Structure 1
Amino acid sequence: MASSWLSVAAGTVVGVGIALARRYFAGGVCRSTALMAGKTVLITGANCGIGKATALDLAKRQARVIMACRDLKSGETAARDIRRNTQNGELVVKHLDLSSFQSIRDFSSEILKEESRLDVLINNAGIFQCPFMKTVDGFEMQFGVNHLGHFLLTNLLLDLLKASAPSRVIVVSSSLHKRGVIHFENLNMTEENYDKRAGYSNSKLANVLFARELAHQLDGTGVTSNCLHPGIVWTNLSRHVSPSRLVVLLFRPLIWLFLKTAHQGAQTSIYLAVDPELEKVNGKYFGDCYEKPFHPVAQDEGVAKKLWDISEKMTGLS
């Protein structure tokens, strides 16, 4: 009898421990109940993962959600799925290939012609540790998509954001930006010196520096710019480094315990988009729905300004 009670007690302790650990690794939750009726939100990469989860939540809050997707068919499928879960939420699916400056310009031109306002721009799409590839315009893919694509898109939509103020720009970065380095003599890696891990970290550091410099330039306009780390999320972003099926089966319990779902990973993006108390918060870094300190590598204002100037030249804005 005693051993039976001990087994039950041990099982209860283990169960509670697992539940607490799962809750801890799930991260912060957006507690705001604010609605978004009458507001328009644009999300890049909204057809899957964190982007789709963000679109679903904001559609439930009655926002008009523009889903900017490279794969239009996948985007339409995601929109149908979201409508089924939001009583026919207002969703617009548009094609956007962030690896092509022409696609970004065409997309932005359509938005400026068709939309009377833009309240929130969420730069969410990205590519993670891919083999060496180049964008249509000849840039290393991770730097080109994660940084230059969003840099150009944001700048082309700035006038509409300003006209819709108070409005918000949200940049989805990663805690791996702490490992990044901005080598101005080698921003665009060549195949010979390519390191996909360094390339990703560098592009995410560029995201943070861009968000900070944008915040500086937008000061006093009513438009804010903030960036975030969504956490370690199990999505198809990691498709280029996906483990074998056997490894997934063996470690699925650990994946479930330590990695966030797309819904959990979207919480900070949602928080930055909807919380009324953040209307005037500008130039900050967030994680798990809390403001976090900037890592030293992201605090050099001179580097941020120089990266901005070079990015203008690379994208043809200057």
Structure 2
Amino acid sequence: MVGSKDLEPSHAPFFPNVFLHNQFRAKPQWPAPGTSLAGKIAIITGGNSGLGYEAGLQLLDLSLSRLILAVRSIERGEAAAAKLRRLYPHSTIDVWELEMSSYASIQAFTKRVDEQLPRLDMAILNAGVMRFHFQRVTSTGHEEIIQVNYLSTMLLALLLLPILKAKRAGPSPARLTIISAALTLNAKFPERAATPLLASFDDPRTFDRQERYQTSKLLAHMFMWNLVDYVSADDVIVNLADPAWVKGTELVRDGTGPVVRAAFKVFGATTGRTPRLGASCYVDAVINKGKEAHGCFLMSWSIHPFPAMLYTPEGRVVTQKVWDETLAELEFAGVRGILDSMRATLED
């Protein structure tokens, strides 16, 4: 199999080359006619609105039996679930609380998944934030974008892996897809030389709103680079999926003034994909793609190389630093033991 790590890195300029191809030229890949998810259970984080909600619609259209909307606000989650229940009365749609800025909430959520779900076939980790001003998460001390988009998402992924492996039905692998962004290809990653690295993001003086979001997604690529060596594609197919720039989502909603919001709205209206097309990238990742996409970055419904930096000697050093510091940060949750148990299966 030829995955993202095996491809030649792309040095094409992000603007306009990659952006134009992603937004206007790439062709969607829809599930084959007759595809059925009857009997299967899926989790979508941030599933009450935007791309998460649309992905839920598309999975339910394929006769998904049960959908768990993992959301920060139960009230908003129930409002979204009510709409879905009217559209799909024969499916079970549940709303479970998940606060992505809280390690305790993530642990409680995955414990509930393990104890209450009879099976689990797929999880789409869609929840994320984009902030225009530095904000610190009180419980962890970390800057919020890095906390939610990277550290908390990786913790959730690691805690879900053994559950997906154990609760998948039959010999087919379970699926775990993490939201990514084509903007990782444009990340400058100014903190790359910092030691320790993760702590460098907690200094408000170095906060750059554009670079921080891109870097948060780049870190996930670096983590995936090593993670694939611990997880067998026979157990769980793990990948990163980019929905491209999508109009009408709530990603840019906090800490912005009316001028900025208006600018994003105009930009989205003129260049953005529809939520249906954007969410189809998630569905493609968990339905259409097989073992060939394990450990890969999916962009425009195709396997794409990781950001070019990862293939360089400097990038390899930084990637290992990210891996080591992340495992140290999440050691309280027993993540090394989880990885060892997953790798034992891989080596059998």
* 1:213 partnered with 2:226: yes
Q: 2:198 aligned to 176, 187, 204, which one?
A: 187
Change (3 A) 1:180 1:56: farther
Name 1:290's counterpart in structure 2. Answer: 302
Change (3 A) 1:250 1:144: closer
TM-score by length of 2: 0.77
Pairing 1:61-210 to 2, within 5 Å after superposition: 61-63=62-64, 64-135=66-137, 136-163=139-166, 164=168, 166-178=173-185, 179-181=187-189, 183=192, 184-185=194-195, 186-188=197-199, 189=201, 190-210=203-223
Name 1:309's counterpart in structure 2. Answer: 324
Gaps of 5+ in 1: 1-20
Q: How far apart are the structure 2 equivalents of 1:202 and 1:310?
A: 16
Alignment deviations for residues 224-275 of structure 1 (CA, whole Å, 9 cap, x no partner)? 11112111112110113756369839974x6433112222211110101111
Aligned structure 1 segments of 4 or more residues deviating by more than 6 angstroms: none
Pairing 1:249-268 to 2, within 5 Å after superposition: 252=266, 255-268=268-281
Q: How far apart are the structure 2 equivalents of 1:246 and 1:127?
A: 16
Alignment deviations for residues 90-146 of structure 1 (CA, whole Å, 9 cap, x no partner)? 211100001000011111111110012221121111001342112221111011100
Change (3 A) 1:243 1:278: farther
Change (3 A) 1:241 1:227: same
CA contact (8 A) 1:26 1:260 kept: no
Name 1:16's counterpart in structure 2. Answer: none
Amino acid at match of 1:131: H
Secondary structure in structure 1 of the residue aligned to 2:282? helix
Name 1:52's counterpart in structure 2. Answer: 53
Gaps of 5+ in 2: 1-19, 337-348
Deviation at 1:24, TM superposition (A): 6.1
Deviates more, 1:72-81 or 1:301-310: 301-310
Amino acid at match of 2:218: L
Q: How far apart are the structure 1 equivalents of 2:206 and 2:80?
A: 38
* 1:40 partnered with 2:41: yes
Q: How far apart are the structure 2 equivalents of 1:249 and 1:198?
A: 19
Name 2:241's counterpart in structure 1. Answer: 228
Count residues in correspondence. 295
Deviates more, 1:301-310 or 1:144-153: 301-310
Higher RCO, 1 vs 2 (CA within 8 Å, ≥6 residues apart): 2
Change (3 A) 1:76 1:291: same
Amino acid at match of 2:177: I
Secondary structure in structure 1 of the residue aligned to 2:230? helix
Alignment deviations for residues 187-242 of structure 1 (CA, whole Å, 9 cap, x no partner)? 23211222122211111001222233222210354211111211111211011375
TM-score by length of 1: 0.84
Amino-acid identity (%): 27
Deviation at 1:303, TM superposition (A): 3.7
Taking only aligned residues, the RMSD between alpha carbons, in angstroms, comes to 2.6
